[in-house]
A = this chain, B = another copy of it.
Amino acid sequence: MATISDVARLAGVSPSTVSRVLNQPEAVIEAKRDRVLTAIAELDYRPSSAARNLRRGSFDTLALLVGDIAQPFHGALAKAVQRAADEQGYSVLLCDLDHSRERLVALLHSLPKRGVDGIIIATADNMNVPPVQAALGELLTQGVAAICGSQSIRSLNVPALLTDRVAVARDATAHLLEQRRWPIVFLGGGPSTALTREARKGYEKACRAAGRESAELLVADGDYRAEAAELSIAELLRAGVRPQGIVADNTPMALGAARALASHGLAVPSDVGIVSCEDVPLGEYMQPSLSSIRTDMDDYGRRLVDVLVTAIAGGEVPARTLIPHKLVVRGSSS
């Protein structure tokens, strides 16, 4: 493992000159610069990140915290983030929260000394609770930048980049309403999560715009998981409800709902239309292919990284950025 001194010796210059060639090339006269670069190539020298990190106090590393990396949406997000980070010269530390709040708090506590410049938090789990806010606040004071995907954090200066979840659910619902499907069930993640509350608001908005009464609305709790969604919809069906449309807040719930419908002999899309508020890579290949609200993941990943990198550099960043979305109509609703 060649060090900077080895390069310096071979090039006949001092270590600081080598360092300059790497960090401010224009400050070194061309002849010497070339000698140094040759020596670097010769020895296949690459600076030790450890030494560099210690000296500079930065790490060229971002942490990506996701609720559950095994979920297809998060996988797609991780891919986009990793690629964008790579383009900016950053590595990505993957942290799976497994939907555990304890784990989130523990991570927020341990990350500052794990060597990351910034973190991206992408979980649907509610972060507006005291322990999380406290841990996040402390992380910020330690000089680690943070941004949030999918939710805003109250009372803390953490930029958020997210889709307008009210609009997303509204568009999904409106699409089914246009087809004169009724009743329509909103399948969310339970009343406690702030995220579902927004989506539910969008659902209600669309229904009211179509002239429906509050009493007619149907809300089911699928806990963001396929299993729970299946049970929840099955229960509804057993109770005699006959929905013609389902708006699922994420894809696993849409699949769970589809299975419940199938076991009750209901066909998609002829009997019931389904739309997911979240697009996933294989959605097109599910059967029937899944109508969903799509956001451009490459763009999303790039924006997340851009904002975070700007924040790390101490630049000004918008407190809240809305990511565009659009409806993709597929077989489950047509």
On A, residues with C-beta under 8 Å from B are 1, 46-51, 53-54, 57, 59, 61, 64, 68-72, 74-76, 78-79, 82-83, 91-96, 98, 110, 112-115, 142-143, 226, 230, 252, 255-256, 258-259, 262, 281-282, 284-289
Nearest-neighbour CB distance to chain B for A148, whole angstroms, equals 19
Nearest-neighbour CB distance to chain B for A259, whole angstroms, equals 6
User: Do the beta carbons of A70 and B79 come within 8 Å of each other?
Assistant: yes
Contact of A82 among B94, B115, B230 (CB under 8 A): B94
Nearest-neighbour CB distance to chain B for A27, whole angstroms, equals 23
Return the chain B residue nearest A297 by Cβ.
B70
User: Do the beta carbons of A49 and B114 come within 8 Å of each other?
Assistant: yes
Within 8 Å CB of A53, what residues of B? 50, 53-54, 115
User: Do the beta carbons of B142 and A114 come within 8 Å of each other?
Assistant: no
Contact of A69 among B82, B262, B282, B284 (CB under 8 A): B82
Return the chain B residue nearest A52 by Cβ.
B50
Closest 10 pairs (CB-CB, A-B): A255-B285, A75-B75, A94-B94, A50-B53, A46-B113, A50-B54, A49-B115, A70-B79, A226-B285, A70-B76
- CA gap between A281 and B73 in the complex, in Å: 13
User: Do the beta carbons of B95 and A82 come within 8 Å of each other?
Assistant: yes
User: Do the beta carbons of A70 and B286 come within 8 Å of each other?
Assistant: no
A-B contact pairs, 22 of them (CB 8 A): A1-B142, A46-B113, A48-B113, A49-B113, A50-B57, A50-B115, A51-B54, A68-B79, A69-B79, A70-B76, A70-B78, A72-B75, A74-B75, A79-B96, A83-B98, A92-B94, A94-B94, A226-B284, A230-B285, A258-B285, A259-B285, A287-B288
